[in-house]
Amino acid sequence: MRISMQENEESKYKIIVVDDESGIIDSLSVFLRKSGYTLVGVTNPLEAIERVKKEHFDLMLLDFIMSPIHGDKVVEEIRKFNQELYILLLTGHKDLAPPLETIKRLDIQGYCEKSDKFDQLLLLIESAIKSIEQMNIIKSINSQLTQSKEMLEKAYLESIETLRYTVEAKDTYTRGHSDRVSEYAILIGKKMGLSEDELRTLRIGGLFHDIGKIGIPDTILLKEQKLTDQEYSEIKNHPAIGVHILSNATIFSNIIPIVHYHHERYDGKGYPARLAGKTIPFYARIVAVADAFDAMTSKRAYRNALPLEVVIKELEEGSGTQFDPKIIEVFLDILKNEYSSIEAIQEKYNYIRSVFTN
């Protein structure tokens, strides 16, 4: 049986009271309506479950000992489809309350003994409403963040893209490098069965892996002769600089390991942390292979691009020492059997480079 209560126009929150004694519902109705709350009363716990399925309630006041099922079974059913409903359990006597473990397991927010005086219950309800208000505020903020996330992310990406182009504009021979590394990494990732979200992380990480070079002096970055030990030490700082640039934006948290560790070696002799084997983040291991391939196949001021057979030999020799052998196996399969996809990437960015340099 359902007992309808007149809704108070000023109340923003709806309470459902479930008790198989209609007298209890009547008493609570008079008391809580005076306090400004909107109530619906239900005497059948099975009907209450169906009502919660179809209608929004903020708070449930639920009797524990009922027929045909007790309150804990009601909560168990409701939690299968509603995790947000705030539930206060009512008991005729504290000795009749369910064990604390049950209350925790079913996510019951509190319980109160029934009494002719409702002061304690009103305090619990007021506390519950405050909690519900905070939950609603957080839900509203999360909703706004979700709606604006794409715009925020786009703004961040555009800002970092500007820095990336600044780095590549310093050296015409490296223009397009990050784009190619990103696309080579995607080829490997697809071959290894990565999800769309994982490929997206890999793509952005590849694009920004060298962003830290913005902090390397041009005299070192563009030097055609062999670098001194001091100059090489400066170059080795670019992963840390990149991490620093990206660390203030949470949207880049997934790609920071790529930026930080793409110069680590599988044998532990890389930099900056001398990580080895699978302690090197997986995406960073993929980008390391793509990065090395692009370095070998790009024309530089001090040498021409290396022939493909030489590059393949270098990759094979680096398997297990410089590179993850599984990733090398996958990439060599691409080079030997799907080389047209590599050529398409090279042609695309060589054309872009020629547009900028002519």
pLDDT score for 97: 67
| Enzyme catalytic residues | 213
Domains annotated for the chain, with CATH where assigned, are: 2-140 (3.40.50.2300), 170-357 (1.10.3210.10)
Question: What helix, strand, coil percent values describe the chain, rounded to 5?
Answer: 60, 10, 30
Residue type, position 202, single letter: L
Q: Where are the beta strands (DSSP E) in 57-116?
A: 59-63, 86-91, 110-113
The phi, psi pair for 154, rounded to 5°, reads -60, -40
**CA 271 to CA 278: how far, in whole Å?**
15
**CA 206 to CA 210: how far, in whole Å?**
8
Its pTM stands at: 0.58
Q: What is the pLDDT along the chain (358 residues), one digit of tens a residue?
A: 444 444 443 457 899 999 998 988 988 888 888 878 888 999 999 999 999 999 999 999 999 889 899 998 999 999 999 988 988 888 876 666 667 777 777 788 877 877 767 777 888 888 888 878 877 776 676 666 666 666 766 776 777 777 777 777 766 656 789 999 999 999 999 999 999 999 999 999 999 999 888 878 778 887 878 888 888 888 898 898 888 878 766 778 899 999 999 999 999 999 999 999 999 999 999 999 999 999 999 877 667 889 999 999 999 999 999 999 999 999 999 999 999 999 999 988 874 444 334 3
Percent of the chain with pLDDT over 70: 84
**CA 273 to CA 292: how far, in whole Å?**
19
pLDDT score for 194: 96
> How many C-beta atoms lie closer than 10 Å to residue 256's C-beta?
21
Residue 302 DSSP one-character state: T
Helix (H) / strand (E) containing 219: helix 218-221
Residue type, position 358, single letter: N
Identify the burial level of 240 via C-beta atoms within 10 angstroms of its C-beta, where 0-12 means exposed, 13-18 middle and 19 or more buried. middle
> How many C-beta atoms lie closer than 10 Å to residue 341's C-beta?
15
